[in-house]
Structure formats: C-alpha cells, structure tokens
Amino acid sequence: MSSSGIKTERLAGWNRPPVIESDGEGELLEVAMGPHHPSTHGVFRMDVVLDGERVIKLKPVFGYLHRNHEQLGQSQSYLANMPYTDRLDYFCSLTNNWAYALAVEKLAGQEVPERAEYLRVILAELTRVQNHASTIGFLLQEMGASGTPLMYAFREREKILDLFESLTGSRMMCNYMRFGGCRVDASPAWLDATRKVVDGLPAFIDEFERFLMTNEILIARCQGIGVLRPDLAVNAGISGPMLRASGVNYDIRKVDHYGIYDRFKFRVPLGDHGDIYDRYMVRMLEMRESISILKQALKELPTGPVMDPKAKIRNFRPKPGEVYGRIEAPKGELGFYLISDGSPNPYRYRIRPPSFINLTVLEDMCLGSNVADVVLIFGSVDIVLGEVDR
C-alpha cells in the first residue's frame, strides 16, 4: 500500500490489456463501429473483434478530425491562437481559453488582477456544470432514453449559453480570456442574471437526479460495468472525473493551487468501484460542488480592473524558455506545453488532451463485456473528438 492508500500490487503483465480467449465455437466477427455511428460522440472508429456478443479485442482508430491545430499554432502569434483553443473541446471553450492563458502567463511572468481571477472561476464552473449535464444527457441517450434527458440538460445549457453570449459575444466559441486577464468586464446586470441562473440550478439537478438515480435500467446497465482499477488509471495517465470515480483523490484545483481556488471551500467527490455508475455519480456531485463554488465566488467578487495594465498586447514576444501549464478542465487535465524562442510565434505548441489519453484504457474496460456495453463505457469516458484529434 502506498501512502495515498492505493493498492499497488503489480499483477503479471498488468500494463497491457488482458488477452481474452474465445470459447472456440463459431467464428469471430470483426466490426468497425464508426466513424459514422449514432453513438460515437463524433467521428470515431472502434475496430471490435466479437465472439458472439462478447468483445475479444478493441482497437480505437481516430484522426478523422485531425485539423493540425499544433502546426497552426506554430505558424501564428500567441494571441492569434486563442480563438483556436475554443475549438479544441468545443463544449467547454472557456476552460480551454483559461488553460492557454495560464500557460502563457507563466511563460511571460504576468500577473492577473483579482477581479479577472474571480470571473475566470465563475465562467469555468458554469462551463463545468453545463458540460457534466450534457455528458449525462448523452450517456442516457445511448442507453436508449432517446433524447428526453438530453432535452432537460440542454434546457439548462441554453440558459448558461445565454449568459456566455451576453458577456463574451458568442454562445460557444467564446474567446474571452487574454494573457493578463479577461477581455471585457462583467456588468452588474450580467451578475444579477448569473445569480438568478445559479439559484435555479440546484432545482434542476434535484429534478435530474430524481428521475435517474433509482431508475432500474440505469442501475442494471451501469453498475459493475466498465470497471477501471485505480493503479491502472494512475499509470495510464487518466485524469478528471474518470480518475476520481476509481477512488484516486487527485483534483488539479486542489493540487496545483492555480488561480484562486484556495479561497473556496469545496469537496472532491470520489467513487468506490470505478464503474460507469460511479462516473455518472461523480459528475452529478461535481455539479453540486461547482454550484457551491459559484455562490461563494459571486458573493466575494471584488471591484477592480479585469486586465493587467502592464500586459503587452501588441508585439508580444515572451523571453526564450518553456512552460507546461495545466488546469482541471471538465474532461480531465488539460495542459499546454509551450517552447518560446523569443519570436512572436511559439516554437513548439503542444496541447495535452485529456480525452485522447483517457482513451488509452478503453480496451481494458471493454474486454469481456457485451457490445451494448461498449457504447455505454465509451460514453462514460466523456470524450470530444476536437480534443482527441486536435
């Protein structure tokens, strides 16, 4: 047992997926699920080898949305890359912006004023709420609930997107953070509207939970399926709600102390079993914690500038060096690795995508289960193809 309480026994060959033998009756069927598939959150393909209904082998194939984001990043200036970070994880554009702004601020040694930090936290937590609600909605749609929970989730998402639109100008591709703060200030009218929305959120989550928590089909299809062991999760670089559902207490907001998260009291929900039900419950509980952070932040929001007055916007050339900056995005650990050589463009611009790395263990989780479970397990990983392929 290591000091964090995680069992670290090493089984033989534990860091490769186990080999499942078929029982020898009948032929093996090779199916390509995707890239056009109703339940693969985008253009994603899984080459599955089936023995009847059981999965023997699974190989994910992606690259169908590879838009050479990193090469674009290296051919443009630092600020020109900010709208492209919106398109990475296109559900959560504001947290992508924050991760990039954080990395560049570390590289250039810039300070961020307090009001900007509070606004960043408010927007990031609103993003987290709407992302988790949409994920649960999509997961239930794949279970066969054909759109109705998704409609409830999107109803709340529309309210949050209205807030984003009135503040940043766009519903989805917000492009709001800058190096040294935020682009525009939030008016008192916007803060009132936000408070109203946040006050209505607990009722929505209660309603969502009431319909789903004791639902027989959900419990039968999710409990015990797609189990991920904590030691494998840590070794495979899994992060975010998937890691915490396996019982590992690692939330970058608490570990790295970035931004002003130290000032808020919030808990980190952990799961016991690491199955789909735990991932779903961890996301529900995280939504509640996000609401409590939002209430604290809205109460304590100070006045002041939202942009560092010493920040250089034109001809921004950070000194040579490199940095790796990361935040707790709703999907996991989103990091940016930048190498600067003193020119206006980054020399190397690398995105550490949480969804791409969370897919490493897809094969391990799906082996031995039915084809119908593969769709659910894949939905519980919560990926976005824009981030996987960049």
Partner 1 sequence: MAESLFGANRQMAVDENLKIELGKQGVFVTTIQELYNWGRRSSIWPMQFGLACCAIEMIATTMARYDLARFGSEVFRPSPRQADLMIISGTVTKKMAPQVVRLYNQMAEPRYVIAMGACAISGGPFKQGYNVLKGIDRYIPVDVHIPGCPPRPEALIQAFMTLQKKIDGQHLTGEERPRHLDEQAPGEFPVPEFGEHDLDPPSNPGTWTVPKIIQ
Partner 2 sequence: MKSVEEIKSAIEAAVPGATVSVVPNPAPTAQHSLLIGAERAIQIAEFLRDDGELALDFLSNVTGVDWLDKEISEKVKVTRQVPKSVDGVEQIVEETVEETRKRVELGYLEAVYHLYSVAKKHGPVVVRLRTANRTDQVELPSLTPIWRSAEFQEREIFDLFGIVFTGHPDLRRILMWDEFKDHPMRRDYVEPDDFEYEPTPHDEVLKRAQEHKAKVAAGEAIQ
Which positions lie near partner 1, rule CB under 8 A?
35-38, 42-43, 63-69, 71-72, 75, 83-84, 87, 90-91, 150-151, 154-155, 157-158, 171-173, 385-386
Considering only CA atoms, give the Rg of the chain.
21
Give Cβ neighbours of residue 329 (< 8 Å, ≥ 6 apart). 89, 92, 95, 96, 99, 240, 354
The CA-atom distances, in angstroms, between 154 and each of 120, 134, 136, 181, 182 are: 23, 7, 11, 29, 27
Contact 337, 324 (CB under 8 A): yes
Residue 49 has φ and ψ, to the nearest 5°, of -105, 120
Q: Which of 322, 343, 368, 372 binds partner 2 (CB under 8 A)?
A: 322
Nearer to partner 1, 83 or 305 (CB): 83
Mutual orientation of helices 276-300 and 188-212 as an angle, nearest 10°?
160
User: What are the structure tokens assigned to 154, written together?
Assistant: 């999107």
What is the spatial distance between Cα 265 and Cα 160, in angstroms, rounded to a whole number?
23
What is the spatial distance between Cα 314 and Cα 320, in angstroms, rounded to a whole number?
18
Nearer to partner 2, 287 or 361 (CB): 361
Q: Which of 41, 45, 120, 352 binds partner 2 (CB under 8 A)?
A: 352
Rounded to a whole number of angstroms, the minimum distance from the CB of residue 50 to partner 2 is: 20
Residues 36-75 that bind partner 2 (CB under 8 A): 62-63, 66, 68, 70-71
350 is a contact residue toward partner 2 (CB under 8 A): yes
Going residue by residue from 225 to 254, which x/- string records binding to partner 2, judged by CB under 8 A? -------x-xxxxx---------x-x----
Nearer to partner 2, 139 or 359 (CB): 359
Q: Which of 16, 265, 310, 314 binds partner 2 (CB under 8 A)?
A: 16
367 is a contact residue toward partner 2 (CB under 8 A): no
87 is a contact residue toward partner 2 (CB under 8 A): no
Number of residues counted as binding partner 2 (CB under 8 A) = 47
Strands 181-182 and 54-61: unpaired
Residue 57 has φ and ψ, to the nearest 5°, of -140, 150
Nearer to partner 2, 3 or 303 (CB): 3
Mutual orientation of helices 371-381 and 276-300 as an angle, nearest 10°?
20
Q: Which of 151, 255, 313, 372 binds partner 2 (CB under 8 A)?
A: 255
Binding site for partner 2 (CB under 8 A): 2-4, 6, 15-16, 62-63, 66, 68, 70-71, 106-109, 232, 234-238, 248, 250, 255, 318-324, 326, 333, 335, 337, 339-340, 348, 350, 352, 356-357, 359-361, 389
